[in-house]
């Protein structure tokens, strides 16, 4: 084997110095850009504050009521967590059914995704809350069932909200999961079949673990979108204990004729919440992108641009280059 | 040991295999070659039902199966048949979410229900056989193509199959990595394993194969010991194909 000619250390050092200089210049340009973007944000906030103050905005009221309205964030998170778990279960089942050759499974899942994606979420929420008890009442009357059956069908607003959001998002996420499972590729299925695995072993051990890696980032996106849609649950009427930020802000604002103030506090609850969640999502995405990475070298070289990705995606949710390196799969659609 | 009888395979209206009969004795090493599209890979995939035979039967050991509707009983029979036949793919198809050792243990543990510690012991031994004992804890992404293919061979061997099926095992490899995979296959042949190898590696065929089978347009045109087939092919098509392949390698 022919040895590559040794480069002199001097030459190497010079090359290294040049590389470092380039990296520093790039980093400086990036910091300068970030600083300017921050100035733009600050300017928008100042203009908005001045404008609102001129319109006799009641800042005192907002500060006064904020703690109460912010407490609603727990309701938002509770409903979101329960709904996303239901949605994930439905999406796994729905996706497997969409990919199956069984006409019953395929048909049922097709109907499910078509109906829940084809009708407005708010209509579905009202159906869970109002329509089901009505149907149950008629069924109880017609077949002489015990009235406990009817009572069970009257859902609390929160439970109806969880079911409504879970079924709706589950339908969208069925498509995400289906694409994720397909992205694993036929070779993996064949390899698993060739060593004699059954369908369920193949799914559990080989296909789904790989699919989940692809599915997690878009699922996190759905979760963030869902936190905002929990505001719709407020329309079902809530018990005081279960007020979400939107209902809190709206109700308190109406009582004191401070509409904009109440809504703005409510909006900032969701805004801060999605900001925090997006931050964690970006971290998670980068961690997943590194899973089974080819070598340490890749991880190191990926470090420089990723810092800017984190910063950008905090503001706008997947700004320039957000989530680079992840497999792109179609999202369920707009909500 | 392995018997293919009256095999036909259609993909839609296209007949890819037009009646193939092939019998392989225990310990025999067969090299199957022919133009792409001649049906050689399809036959191999029909043997473990990765493709459904349109007509004909497949026998491995004393299990005999034909194509047709896959009800629960049929699926179980196909599964049992597959356990008897180890398959090595062109693109390795290792499970990227598992280490090399876990890849090798997956079949014994999940399919054969062998206790983990025992499967790990034999798994390490099998990796040793393909010369990769020190890579046991690596994920496939960190392995070279040749190493991946050797792990894939170990994964198939771990099921203790009666026959090994190789579907162009070196076609996706860089030239300098082909040797290590062929060496593992030679060792395997010497250990008495029954093997059906679809490949164009004529050096390997000459050295290791007991019999060579030439596929042409969906049928077996010619077969015989390597010396006869390479040295004195009876058909024009065989001659042409061989000279094209040998030119490429020399």
Rg of chain B on CA atoms, in Å: 18
Whole-number Å distance between alpha carbons of A243 and A76 = 9
Residue B192: half-sphere exposure toward Cβ, Cα within 13 Å:
2
pLDDT, tens digit (0-9, with 9 covering 90-100), for A110-128: 999 999 999 999 999 999 9
Report strand pairing: B55-60 vs B29-34. unpaired
- For residue A292, pLDDT over 80 is answered with no
ipTM of the complex: 0.92
Convert A175-190 to b/e letters by CB count within 10 Å (16 or more is b): bbbbbbbbebeeebbb
For residue A322, the model assigns a pLDDT of: 37
Helix axes of A103-118 and A59-98: crossing angle, nearest 10 degrees? 160
Check CB contact of B86 with chain A, cutoff 8 Å. Answer: yes
Question: Considering only CA atoms, which of A227, A212, A225 is closest in space to residue A82?
Answer: A227
Contacts of A194 in chain B (CB under 8 A): 48, 50, 82, 85-87, 89, 156
Query: Model confidence at A309, in pLDDT bands (50, 70, 90)?
Result: very low
A290 in reach of chain B (CB within 8 A): no
Q: Is residue B160 within 8 angstroms of chain A, CB to CB? A: no
Element (H, E) at B167: strand B163-167
| Torsion sign, CA atoms A315, A275, A220, A267 | negative
Helix/strand/coil for A145: coil
Residue ranges in chain A assigned as alpha helix (H) = 9-54, 59-98, 103-118, 121-126, 132-143, 147-153, 157-183, 186-194, 199-201, 208-229, 245-255, 259-290, 296-301, 303-316
pLDDT value at residue A119: 96
Note whether B103 contacts A: Cβ–Cβ < 8 A: no
How far is A136 from A145, CA to CA, in rounded Å? 10
pLDDT class of A7 with cuts at 50, 70, 90 = low
Residue A189's pLDDT band (cuts 50, 70, 90): very high
pLDDT digits (tens, 9 = 90+) for B77-112: 999 999 999 999 999 999 999 999 999 999 999 999
A298 lies within 8 A of chain B by CB: no
Q: What pLDDT does residue B156 have? A: 96
CB-CB under 8 Å, A213 with B141 = no
CA distances to A57, A121, A256 from A61, rounded to whole Å, are 9, 33, 9
Band (B225; pLDDT cuts 50, 70, 90): very high
What is the residue whose two structure tokens read 């404008």? A51
Closest partner residue to B48 (CB to CB) among A194, A201, A294 is: A194
Whole-angstrom distance, CA of residue A51 vs CA of residue A39 = 18
pLDDT given for residue B249 in this prediction: 56
Out of A187, A201, A210, the one facing B111 most closely (by C-beta) is A201
Residue B67 is predicted with a pLDDT of: 86
The pLDDT of residue A310 is above 60: no
pLDDT for the residue A147: 79
């Amino acid at each position: 084997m022919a040895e590559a000619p040794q480069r002199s250390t001097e030459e190497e050092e010079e090359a290294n110095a040049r590389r470092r200089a380039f990296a520093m210049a790039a980093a400086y340009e990036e910091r300068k850009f970030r600083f300017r973007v921050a100035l733009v944000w600050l300017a928008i906030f100042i203009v908005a504050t001045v404008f609102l103050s001129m319109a006799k905005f009641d800042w005192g009221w907002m500060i006064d009521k904020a703690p109460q309205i912010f407490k609603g964030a727990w309701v938002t998170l509770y409903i979101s967590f329960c709904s996303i778990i239901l949605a994930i279960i439905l999406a796994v089942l729905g996706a497997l059914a969409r990919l199956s050759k069984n006409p019953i499974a395929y048909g049922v899942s097709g109907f499910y995704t078509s109906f829940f994606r084809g009708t407005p979420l708010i209509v579905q929420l009202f159906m869970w809350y109002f329509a089901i008890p009505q149907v149950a009442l008629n069924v109880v009357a017609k077949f002489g069932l015990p009235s406990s059956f009817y009572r069970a069908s009257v859902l609390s607003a929160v439970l109806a909200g969880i079911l409504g959001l879970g079924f709706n998002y589950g339908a969208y996420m069925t498509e995400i999961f289906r694409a994720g499972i397909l992205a694993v590729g036929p070779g993996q299925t064949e390899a698993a079949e060739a060593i004699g695995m059954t369908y369920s072993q193949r799914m559990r051990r080989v296909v789904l673990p790989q699919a989940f890696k692809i599915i997690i980032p878009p699922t996190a996106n759905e979760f963030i979108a869902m936190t905002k849609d929990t505001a719709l649950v407020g329309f079902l009427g809530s018990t005081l204990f279960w007020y979400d930020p939107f209902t809190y802000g709206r109700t308190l604002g109406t009582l004191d004729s401070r509409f904009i103030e109440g809504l703005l506090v409510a909006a900032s609850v969701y805004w801060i919440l999605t900001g925090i969640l997006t931050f964690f999502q970006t971290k998670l995405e980068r961690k997943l992108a590194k899973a089974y990475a080819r070598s340490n070298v890749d991880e190191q070289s990926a470090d420089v641009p990723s810092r800017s990705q984190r910063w950008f995606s905090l503001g706008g949710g997947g700004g320039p280059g957000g989530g680079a390196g992840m497999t792109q799969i179609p999202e369920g659609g707009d909500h | 040991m392995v018997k293919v009888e009256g095999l036909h395979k259609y993909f839609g209206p296209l007949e890819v295999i037009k009646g193939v009969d092939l019998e392989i004795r225990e310990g025999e090493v067969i090299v199957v070659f022919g133009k792409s599209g001649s049906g050689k890979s399809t036959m191999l995939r029909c043997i473990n039902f990765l493709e459904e035979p349109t007509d004909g039967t497949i026998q491995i050991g004393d299990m005999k199966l034909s194509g047709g509707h896959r009800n629960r009983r049929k699926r179980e029979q196909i599964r049992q048949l597959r356990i008897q036949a180890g398959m090595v793919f062109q693109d390795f198809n290792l499970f990227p979410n598992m280490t090399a050792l876990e890849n090798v243990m997956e079949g014994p543990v999940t399919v054969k229900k062998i206790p983990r510690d025992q499967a790990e012991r034999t798994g390490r031994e099998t990796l040793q056989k393909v010369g990769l004992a020190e890579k046991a804890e690596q994920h496939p992404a960190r392995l070279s193509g040749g190493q991946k293919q050797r792990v894939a061979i170990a994964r198939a061997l771990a099921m203790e199959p009666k026959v090994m099926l190789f579907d162009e095992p070196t076609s996706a490899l860089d030239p300098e990595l082909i040797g290590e995979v062929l060496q593992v296959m030679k060792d395997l042949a010497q250990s008495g394993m029954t093997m059906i190898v679809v490949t164009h590696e004529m050096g390997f065929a000459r050295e290791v194969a007991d019999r060579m089978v030439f596929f042409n347009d969906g049928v077996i045109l010619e077969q015989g010991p390597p010396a006869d087939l390479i040295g004195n092919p009876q058909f024009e098509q065989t001659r042409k194909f061989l000279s094209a392949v040998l030119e490429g390698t020399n």
